[in-house]
Amino acid sequence: PWSGWRLLYLPSLLDHLLGHDQARRLIHGIKVAIAIVLVSLLYMVDVIHDRLGDNLMWAIMTVVVMFELTSGGTLRKGVNRGFGTLCGGLLGMLVALWAHDIGGWGRTVLVSFLLFIICTAASYFRMIPNIKKGYDYGVMIFILTFSLVAVSGVRGDQIIKQANDRLSAILIGMAISVTTNMLIFPVWAGDELQASLESNFKSLASSIQGTVDDYFKPVDEKLEGQPLDTSKGCKSVIHSKASNESMALFAKWEPMNRRFGHCYPWDDYLVIANLLRNLAISILSLRDCRRYKNQGDSTDEIKKQCESMSDSIGSMLTKLGAHFHNRTKSVAADDVDNLESHKQKLFKLICHLDIDSGNEDDIEGAQIAQFLLVLINII
Amino acid sequence: PWSGWRLLYLPSLLDHLLGHDQARRLIHGIKVAIAIVLVSLLYMVDVIHDRLGDNLMWAIMTVVVMFELTSGGTLRKGVNRGFGTLCGGLLGMLVALWAHDIGGWGRTVLVSFLLFIICTAASYFRMIPNIKKGYDYGVMIFILTFSLVAVSGVRGDQIIKQANDRLSAILIGMAISVTTNMLIFPVWAGDELQASLESNFKSLASSIQGTVDDYFKPVDEKLEGQPLDTSKGCKSVIHSKASNESMALFAKWEPMNRRFGHCYPWDDYLVIANLLRNLAISILSLRDCRRYKNQGDSTDEIKKQCESMSDSIGSMLTKLGAHFHNRTKSVAADDVDNLESHKQKLFKLICHLDIDSGNEDDIEGAQIAQFLLVLINII
């Protein structure tokens, strides 16, 4: 017999039918639509409409503007919006009430003057890089609410009732979007960040192996366009900075994500992401060196050493990725010893340090990353 | 005697007094404030208020939301907003008019159903990466306008008059913000992009020279924390991708920027920016190689060659930057020959290709960049 619980499997069913990205977009679309329909039903219910009137439009606006893909993003925007509205509304009401006591042209002049001063200050404040990064939206809402309230207060008589109603409408909108976003198949920014770092680990592991394999191929095979693939992986890792940072920002707002919980050290994730980016740069540089290398001086011995080295770096990265995935204590000491001995051998073996200069760097990167992972997993 | 024209020197005066960034923020703030005050004066003028009523609030909202730092950004947002509002408004009106003919619960159900379908579709559409990159804002405005119009149409009687008034208010807001933004000390995205690439050229030139100088220092001097500086420059070049891309997107909307004019090949700028990023990666890799280099095998001859080479690359980059600044035809053929001969000498000189592998790559990068510059300057 069909039961409602089957709906819980909807995401995985859609994943299966449409592919991950499309299923995700579809579910997001449905969530947005549900929130909008809920809020417009409120508008159509007479009791609430009689109480709040056309101010309910603010609830609809809040839902549309606030609804982000991840829960953390939505919460963050909600809090930004809430604070911006409150501060802007209060300040605007003060101005409006003050202006109310003055008649005629004086009122217009006073309001314009205050608008000018406060909007200049707030826009200036908004453009400061750190503020822009974290609170851009909040300050914008502040400017918006302040000017709307101050200006409409000049004509309106029921300033306080208006502000009150509008605030209730915005709160209703916020409540609806937060609950819809977090109760119906939530997408956690923390999970996204985790997945992005895992895939970075993987793509770097395969790039290292690919690059070193490539390096020892005969020249004629090299000319085929293959190496582009490995470099693409590295470049996408290098350019993942902005998205990782915003995900980490959002993830901090998700204490209710069972997988990670409160006070999870997201900043350390950024440190790891940064190390991975440095590693990606080193790998790319290894590729560059390779392009200009004449093959003559790589003896079989070096080749063997390098290949086993790249394999162990690769498997190490894969392992790190897996441990990262399970958030268990980090790689066993054996692996580190293993890498260490490879490194020693290579050191002894060669003095032309073309290849190993790159590789060593990779090892160092991996070791630092590992060290950090150990740190994190202890926490 | 004091004349109004002196105001034109205000930006350079402020630049002088406050420093470039702060002066810019202050001017931006003042521009925003002027636009907001203008639009609220409209609200306070009786003739216009009698005609449009509280719909004028939409004009204020439009100004606050649309006003971006650069003219291109503002225009782009304006066009996005215009299209989104038009499409959303029309579709919403259709739904509202249709629902008007049906009474009772049927109306609520019909509107909710249509809202659900259309919002799902639009939100899905909005999350597609290419759409999100270019038209995120427009689609959001579409959803917003559509649901507001459709929902309020259920109760309102004067659907068409309402929509009409609101549209006029939005158009007024758009006109005010575009004119204020573009007439009062405009900031052009094209200029920003140009300046950013120029500074990238400069910082890479100094990084190359710094890195090679560093390379040949005795080991004990190396241990001081200096090299960090050169790598910082490179890293900021590498991470300038996102901002360069959005600037190029905005710059396309600025046909009235006298300095560049219509149909300027901004995409080629992105290509150059990309080459510079690759060059930055190569320079970083050169630094990495250096870290693991034992000093023994760099003879004086190599050192001399490398240093003269890095100098000529550096001066070449600086020259390229200057030519880029003046947008004149590119570097003289002498310089290319010069570099070419350096390269040949180095080739002959050494078979350990640690250093020059990195350097050659830089040359190649510079040559490609130069080639592109030639191309651009011909256009």
Residue among B220, B209, B166, B193 at smallest CA distance from B317: B209
% of residues, chain B, pLDDT over 70? 58
Candidate from B32, B120, B242 with C-beta closest to A119: B32
Instruction: Give B349's pLDDT tier (boundaries 50, 70, 90).
Output: very low
pLDDT band at B352 (very low <50, low <70, confident <90, very high): very low
Contact B25 A128 (CB under 8 A): yes
pLDDT at residue B288, rounded to an integer: 54
How distant is the alpha carbon of residue A73 from its chain centre? 9
**What's the rounded mean pLDDT across residues B27-52?**
82
Q: Which residue has the higher pLDDT, A117 or B52?
A: A117
- Mean pLDDT throughout B350-369? 44
Closest CA relative to residue A133, chosen from B269, B193, B243: B243
A208 vs B112, higher pLDDT = B112
Q: What is the pLDDT of residue B291?
A: 47
Distances (CA, A) of A217 to A49, A146, A224: 74, 67, 11
Range from A33-37, A231-235, B21-25, B183-187 that averages highest in pLDDT: A33-37
Mean pLDDT across the stretch A323-345?
55
In terms of CA atoms, which chain A residue is nearest residue B289?
A: A357
Nearest residue on chain A to B143, alpha-carbon basis: A64
Any chain B CB within 8 A of the CB of A358? yes
- Yes or no, beta carbons of B352 and A352 under 8 Å apart: yes
* Stretch among A127-136, A219-228, B358-367 having the lowest mean pLDDT: B358-367
Nearest neighbour of B25 by CB, restricted to A61, A127, A293? A127
Half-sphere exposure of A201 (CA within 13 A, CB side): 23
CB contact under 8 A, A361 and B122: no
Task: Among A44-58, B192-206, B333-347, name the one with the lowest average pLDDT.
Answer: B333-347
Residue B280 in this model has a pLDDT that exceeds 80: no
Q: How confident is the model at residue B348 (pLDDT cuts 50, 70, 90)?
A: very low
CB A118 within 8 A of CB A126: no
Query: Residue B294 has what pLDDT?
Result: 45
pLDDT score recorded for residue B339: 54
Provide, as residue numbers in chain A, all residues whose Cβ is less than 8 Å from the Cβ of B361: 288, 291-292
Nearest neighbour of B64 by CB, restricted to A34, A61, A144: A144
Least confident of A364-373, B150-159, B247-256: A364-373
Taking the CA of residue A73 and the nearest CA in chain B, the distance in Å comes to 15
Q: Assess whether pLDDT exceeds 50 at residue B362.
A: no
Q: What is the pLDDT of residue A219?
A: 53
Asked if B245 is an interface residue toward chain A (Cβ–Cβ < 8 A), one would say no
pLDDT at B224 over 60: no
pLDDT at A243 over 80: no
What is the rounded distance in angstroms from the CA atom of residue A304 to the CA atom of residue A311? 11
Residue A201: predicted pLDDT? 75
Q: Is the pLDDT of residue B356 over 50?
A: no
CB-CB under 8 Å, A242 with B127: no
Whether the CA torsion B113, B115, B118, B124 is positive or negative: it is negative
A85 touches A147 (CB < 8 A): no
**Chain A: residue nearest B114 by CA?**
A37
Residue B327, sorted as left (phi over 0), alpha (psi -120 to 50) or beta, turns out to be left
Question: Cα–Cα distance between A61 and A237 in angstroms, integer?
Answer: 36
B19 shares contact with chain A (CB less than 8 Å): no
Contacts within 8 Å (CB) and 24+ apart, B39-48: B39/B63, B39/B172, B39/B173, B39/B176, B40/A111, B40/A112, B40/A115, B40/A147, B40/A150, B40/A151, B41/A108, B41/A112, B42/B172, B43/A151, B43/A152, B43/A154, B43/A155, B44/A108, B44/A111, B44/A151, B44/A154, B44/A155
- Per the prediction, chain B carries an average pLDDT of 71
How far apart (Å, rounded) are the C-alpha atoms in residues A279 and A260? 27
Q: Is B122 on the interface with A (CB under 8 A)?
A: yes
Chain B residue closest in CA terms to A108? B44
- Find the CB nearest A33 among B120, B140, B353: B120
Beta-carbon separation of B69 and A140 below 8 A: no
Q: pLDDT higher for B325 or A110?
A: A110
pTM over 0.80: no
pLDDT at residue B172 is higher than 70? yes
Q: Is the pLDDT of residue B367 over 70?
A: no
Residue B61 in contact with partner chain A when CB distance is under 8 A: yes
Inform me whether the pLDDT recorded for A93 exceeds 80: yes
pLDDT exceeds cutoff 70 at B283: no
A147-156, A228-237, A278-287, B203-212 — most confident range: A147-156
Q: What is the pLDDT of residue B308?
A: 66
Rounded Cα distance between A263 and A261, Å, is 7
Put simply, whether A128 touches B (Cβ < 8 Å) is yes
Q: Establish, for the pair of chains A and B, how many residue pairs have beta carbons separated by less than 8 Å.
A: 218
Mean per-residue pLDDT, B107-118: 87
Gap between the Cα atoms of A265 and B374, Å rounded = 50
**Predicted pLDDT at B197:** 76
Say which range, A253-267, A342-356, B301-315, has the weakest mean pLDDT: A342-356
> What sections of A327-353 are H helices per DSSP?
333-349
Looking at A204-208, B40-44, B333-337, which range is the least confident one?
B333-337
Chain A closest-CA separation from residue B328 CA (Å): 31
Average pLDDT over residues B154-167: 74
A residues 259..298 contacting B (CB < 8 A) = 281-282, 284-286, 288-289, 291-294, 297
Q: Do B353 and A116 touch (CB under 8 A)?
A: no
ipTM of this predicted complex? 0.76
Residue that wins the pLDDT comparison between B2 and B197: B197
